[in-house]
Amino acid sequence: MPESAHTTHDADEDARNRDILIYVNGELVHRDEAKVSVYDSGFLLGDGMWEGMRLYDGEWAFFDAHMDRFFDSCRSVSLDVGMDRDGIRAALEKTAQANGMETDVHCRLMLTRGVKAKPFQHPGLSRSGPTLVIIMEHSKPVNALQSRGIRLATVPQVRGLPMSQDPKLNSHSKLNCVIACLQAEQAGADEGLMLDPHGFVNTTNACNFFIVRRGEVWTSTGDYCMNGVTRANVIRLCEQNGIPIHQKNFSLYEAYGASEAFLTGTFGAQTPVAEIDGKPIGSGERPVTAEIQRLYKEMVAQDVAAQSARRAAPADSGTQP
Ligand SMILES: Cc1ncc(COP(=O)(O)O)c(C=O)c1O
């Protein structure tokens, strides 16, 4: 990656990450020693699902929304998680505690179909149960990106139709997105702006994409993009706060002419877009993005406080799968 390049996942360097412990199937192992088998379905085929989540004040923000997506994804590919969402929460807590982590933490929770008897595709060859790995890092997105913004390039790689590999699956195999990212890098940009099969603007290789036009917020219909937890939260925030929001088809014509554009994702929340295909977006003033960022911070704080209060209250609710 060139020195000048930025990604939506840039974080401040944190020396504590040098010695973190990684969760591997119940064990906590120093990052240098954390390994999975070369026969693992994730390594051999990208056959697994993952979630990226953020820890604030001891709570995983929007935990239920992440678990809904994770369990739906696993169910849709017949991947048995082997535990319920409380089990996942316990594994996350064990990892956070072992690392002394409380806030400003990002985790990548990964589940694969596990070790295979032979290095071939058939899912039936994965016979020893799933592999669950949790990587947790101290992580604060870099501030510089807020003023500088991210540079996007429209790439030839498109989002697929749901009957090939549904883009809603947060699968280990991200080759479609990796190819898009490579194409963007080769075009001198930071991230790839991907179109849908009809040529409408859809999403980027790692985040969801929004534009602002005449005070309205637009994003794609959602048919070909990752059903981002942050995307859904931004849509809800707009609806609840009188900011006009439309999920609709639009083309590069409207994206180039936007007054603001931003990306959403758990890692960076909302990242401003500075340019698309070398064309600067708007004047550089970003009042709508700033308002959404403010509302989103409040939303995170409310969610974290509500989870914390629920957990402090006596347990009387039924467990979800
Ligand atoms: C392709 C893609 N789009 C969007 C997102 C953002 O999703 P979320 O807001 O749930 O983090 C991700 C994150 O995993 C992603 O991989």
pLDDT in tens, 114-138: 999 999 999 999 999 999 999 999 9
Higher pLDDT, 314 or 60: 60
Please report which confidence band the pLDDT of residue 321 belongs to, taking 50, 70 and 90 as the band edges: low
In 10 A of CB 28, how many CB atoms? 16
> Which candidate, 256, 139, 130, places its Cα nearest to that of 193?
256
Mean pLDDT of the chain: 95
The angle at the Cα of 104, spanning 24 to 243, to the nearest 5 degrees, equals: 120
Question: CA end-to-end span of the chain, whole Å?
Answer: 41
Measured at the alpha carbon of residue 298, what is the angle toward residues 320 and 280, in degrees to the nearest 5?
110
What's residue 229's pLDDT?
98
pLDDT of 319: 53
3-state secondary structure of 79: coil
Predicted confidence (pLDDT) per residue in 265-308, tens digit: 999 999 999 999 999 999 999 999 999 999 999 999 999 999 99
Q: What is the mean pLDDT of residues 228-245?
A: 98
pLDDT (mean) for 192-215: 98
Sign of CA dihedral 11, 14, 19, 21: negative
260 pLDDT above the threshold of 90: yes
The ligand 1 atom nearest the CA atom of 264: 9
**CA 208 to ligand 1: nearest atom:** 4
Contact indicator for 57, 304 with CB cutoff of 8 Å: yes
Give the C-alpha separation, 248 to 211, whole Å: 11
Low-confidence winner among 168-177, 178-187, 205-214, 311-320 (lowest mean pLDDT): 311-320
For 155-174, write each residue's pLDDT tens digit: 999 999 999 999 999 999 99
Q: What tens digit of pLDDT does each residue of 20-34 get?
A: 999 999 999 999 999
Tokens 């498109």, residue located = 158
* pLDDT value of residue 142: 80
Produce one character per residue of 228-237: b if its CB has 16 or more CB atoms within 10 Å, e if not. Answer: bbbbbbbbeb
Atom 3 in ligand 1: residue holding the nearest Cα = 207
Nearest Cα to 67, choosing from 175, 163, 170, 219?
170
- Give me ligand 1 centre to Cα 192, in Å: 14
Question: Which of 51, 226, 296 is the pocket-test mutation for ligand 1 (most atoms within 8 Å of CB)?
Answer: 226
Instruction: Band the pLDDT of 313: cuts 50, 70, 90.
Output: confident
- For ligand 1, the distance from its centroid to the CA atom of residue 312, given in whole angstroms, is 30
Dist. CA 75–CA 268, nearest whole Å: 28
Residue identifier of the C-alpha nearest atom 1 of ligand 1? 206
**Three-class SS of residue 277?**
coil
C-alpha 108 – ligand 1 centre gap (Å): 12
Task: Look at ligand 1, atom 4, and give the residue with the nearest C-alpha.
Answer: 207
pLDDT of residue 166: 95
| Beta strand residue intervals within 139-292, DSSP E | 150-154, 191-195, 201-204, 208-213, 216-219, 245-247, 260-265, 269-276, 279-280
- Ligand 1 proximal residues by C-beta, below 6 Å: 52, 170, 177, 203, 206-208, 226, 228-231, 264-266
Q: What are the helix (H) ranges across the chain?
A: 41-45, 63-76, 85-98, 144-148, 162-165, 175-186, 229-240, 252-256, 287-312
Rounded mean pLDDT, 246-264: 98
Contact indicator for 109, 50 with CB cutoff of 8 Å? yes
Tell me which of 6-10, 24-28, 261-265 is least confident: 6-10
Q: In degrees, to the nearest 5, what angle opens at C-alpha 23 toward C-alphas 78 and 303?
A: 80
Confidence grade of residue 191 (pLDDT, cut at 50, 70, 90): very high
User: Tell me, what's the pLDDT at 317?
Assistant: 52
Q: Can you give the pLDDT at residue 13? A: 84
CB 194 within 8 A of CB 180: yes
Residue 181: what pLDDT?
Answer: 98
What Cα–Cα distance (Å) separates residue 4 from each residue in 158, 184, 185, 186, 193?
A: 26, 14, 11, 13, 19
Looking at residue 12, what is its pLDDT? Answer: 77
Residue 311 binned pLDDT confidence (cut-offs 50, 70, 90): confident
